[in-house]
Amino acid sequence: MTNTTPRLLDEQLCFAFYSASKKFNHFYQDALKPFHLTYPQYITMLALWETSPMTVRELGSHLNLDSGTLTPLLKRLEKQGWITRTRSEQYERQVNVNLTDYALEERDNVYARVNDCIDLMKMTGVDYDHLLNQIHEVMDELDQIRQKDLIKEA
Amino acid sequence: MTNTTPRLLDEQLCFAFYSASKKFNHFYQDALKPFHLTYPQYITMLALWETSPMTVRELGSHLNLDSGTLTPLLKRLEKQGWITRTRSEQYERQVNVNLTDYALEERDNVYARVNDCIDLMKMTGVDYDHLLNQIHEVMDELDQIRQKDLIKEA
DNA sequence: AACAATTTAGTTGTACACGATTAATTCAAT
DNA sequence: ATTGAATTAATCGTGTACAACTAAATTGTT
């Protein structure tokens, strides 16, 4: 018996994640326009506002991004005055990412703006905790599959 | 009262969508490696296997992608022999995207491969329909917000 | 018919995302 | 101490995304 059609629900689920992710991206793009921050830049700043300094590697493991993505992104944040990048003195091979005074000053303004925009959504029909759980369940499945053989060969 | 921290659940939800979308992307990247198709290319082919020919505009409204994304993507699919792009004769301004014989021949192989990989996931703890509903609920909220004023002004 | 408005696809520029590679530094083990 | 392995960030190449713009074709209005 051959499969002549893809499994509809999985397809729909994947496409839903794909679409929702893009929509959230636009949402933050709009919300953060006053600060000229994209969503990836924003979550980078969020991580740094929580813990700083961090090395590129540490940031990457928080955000699941590698240096190929982070290095240019961090250069843009640096150029816009949010962060500084300095080689660590003890370990020349790593780079410490630090917040600027500007970033510390603007933090609460950014938070307030994001919260104001989020308040526009009235997520009445959404059970956050359950939804988050289900998404993490799916992600765990996907992580486990990467370990297996079938998907790796070819 | 000022907001000095972002609303945690919304942040987590957005980041979960962002991460899950990337993971699904890798999953399909691996699954479709034998066919040299990326996920966006795959969903484009899915749409065409269901209905073809379609104009670039029609494809775009199915996939929520504009010509800036689709034109180069379609050129790649054309170069790899999956589709042809021909100006419509009645309406010179639109381009018909057609499947090649190769695409028709390979369809079931692609479906089978995707299904085999999807079968590796045993989504025991996931209620598909409910999860899909919740995601669409969130997307509807995001769509409604784009209409509003606060988010539009810079 | 003439011309403005609209539609369609393509182009350009910016910004991720990531695999693969490179270069520099540090560690380890003899 | 020397050399081989591992770690870290940067770089390069490919492929999305999308806003803004352009060019061509079509439609609407006068």
**DSSP, residue by residue, B64-102:** T--HHHHHHHHHHHHHTTSEEEEE-SS-TT-EEEEE-HH
Structural domain includes residue A101: yes
Q: Which pLDDT belongs to residue B10?
A: 87
Q: Which pLDDT belongs to residue A8?
A: 87
Q: Please write the tens of the pLDDT for every residue from B10-24.
A: 889 999 999 999 999
- Total domains present in chain A: 1
Q: Please write the tens of the pLDDT for every residue from B29-38.
A: 999 999 999 9
Q: Which pLDDT belongs to residue B125?
A: 87
Residues of A in contact with B32 (CB under 8 A): none
- CB contact (8 A) between residue A150 and residue B117: yes
% residues pLDDT > 70 (chain A): 94
- Check residues B140 and A122 and name the one with the higher pLDDT: B140
Question: Integer distance in angstroms from CA B29 to C1' C22?
Answer: 25
- Partner A contacted by B30 (CB < 8 A): yes
Residues of A in contact with B16 (CB under 8 A): 132, 135-136, 139
- CB contact (8 A) between residue A117 and residue B145: yes
Structural domain includes residue B130: no
Which is it for strands B83-87 and B54-55: parallel, antiparallel or unpaired?
unpaired
Q: Which pLDDT belongs to residue A98?
A: 98
Specify the residue for token string 């991580």.
A47
User: What is d(CA B78, CA B84) in angstroms, rounded to the nearest whole number?
Assistant: 6
Structural domain includes residue A134: no
What average pLDDT is seen over chain A?
A: 92
Asked if residue A151 lies in contact with residue B31, where contact means CB atoms within 8 angstroms, the answer is: yes
The predicted model gives A40-49 an average pLDDT of 98
Q: Please write the tens of the pLDDT for every residue from B89-111.
A: 888 899 999 999 999 999 999 99
H helices then E strands: how many in chain B? Answer: 6, 3
Q: Is the per-residue pLDDT at B151 higher than 80? A: no
| Residue A72 belongs to domain spanning | 40-121
Structural domain includes residue A24: no
Task: Please report, for the domain that includes residue A58, its CATH number.
Answer: 1.10.10.10
Q: Which of B5, B39, B111 sits opposite A3 (nearest CB)?
A: B111
Structural domain includes residue A89: yes
Q: Which pLDDT belongs to residue B154?
A: 44
Q: Please write the tens of the pLDDT for every residue from A48-97.
A: 999 999 999 999 999 999 999 999 999 999 999 999 999 988 888 999 99
Q: Which long-range contacts (CB under 8 A, 24 or more apart) does B84-89 make?
A: B88/B55
For residue B73, say whether its CB is under 7 Å from any atom of strand D.
yes
Q: Is the per-residue pLDDT at B150 higher than 70? A: no
Token couple for B102: 């190769």
User: What is d(CA B31, CA B24) in angstroms, rounded to the nearest whole number?
Assistant: 10
Q: Chain D positions under 7 Å from a protein CB?
A: 7-13, 15-20, 24-27
**How close is the nearest chain B Cα to the Cα of A96, in Å?**
24
**How close is the nearest chain B Cα to the Cα of A41, in Å?**
13
Strand order in the sheet with B54-55: B54-55, B95-99, B83-87
- Label residue A125 by pLDDT band (50, 70, 90): confident
Structural domain includes residue B52: yes
Q: Which pLDDT belongs to residue B153?
A: 53
Structural domain includes residue B143: no
Q: Please write the tens of the pLDDT for every residue from B48-84.
A: 999 999 999 999 999 999 999 999 999 999 999 999 9
Half-sphere exposure of residue B54: CA atoms within 13 angstroms, side-chain side: 19
Q: Which pLDDT belongs to residue A151?
A: 61
Provide the 8-state DSSP code for A34: G
Structural domain includes residue B147: no
Q: Is the per-residue pLDDT at B140 higher than 60? A: yes
